[in-house]
């Protein structure tokens, strides 16, 4: 399996950026072949100093393998998500991919 984690920093000048990003993820991503698990949501505040609280939205997708993640990257629905939800609503993103 391969976990694909994306951490998003929403555009602070757009009041609906977080909502639009999450709605776009739900609209475009779950039906893409090769996805075993899909989860998107907002940062949970924590009193622990080791917990990063600078971002607003996180996405976690588990794929069956690296090839499924490669196929996802070029899938028309993912490309549409990037153009219509990610780019208009985010100022930064970090991506972590790991197998196990």
Best CA proximity match to 22, nearest among 34, 37, 4, 6: 6
Q: For residue 100, what pLDDT is reported?
A: 85
> Is residue 14 in a domain?
yes
Model confidence over 27-43: pLDDT tens digits?
Answer: 999 999 999 999 999 99
- CATH number of the CATH domain containing 87: 3.30.70.100
Q: For residue 19, what pLDDT is reported?
A: 98
Residue corresponding to tokens 């994306």: 6
Q: For residue 78, what pLDDT is reported?
A: 98
> Is residue 80 in a domain?
yes
- Pick out the chain residues at pLDDT < 50: none
CA-angle at 92, arms to 88 and 96, nearest 5°: 120
Q: How many domains does the chain have?
A: 1
> Is residue 24 in a domain?
yes
């Amino acid at each position: 399996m391969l976990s694909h984690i994306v951490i998003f920093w929403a555009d602070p000048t757009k009041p609906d950026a977080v909502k639009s990003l999450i709605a776009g993820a739900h609209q475009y991503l779950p039906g893409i072949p090769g996805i075993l698990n899909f989860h998107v949501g907002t940062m949970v505040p924590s009193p622990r100093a080791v917990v990063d609280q600078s971002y607003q939205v996180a996405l976690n997708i588990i794929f069956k393998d690296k090839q499924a993640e490669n196929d996802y990257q070029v899938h028309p629905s993912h490309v549409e998500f990037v153009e219509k939800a990610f780019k208009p609503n985010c100022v930064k993103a970090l991506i972590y991919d790991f197998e196990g």
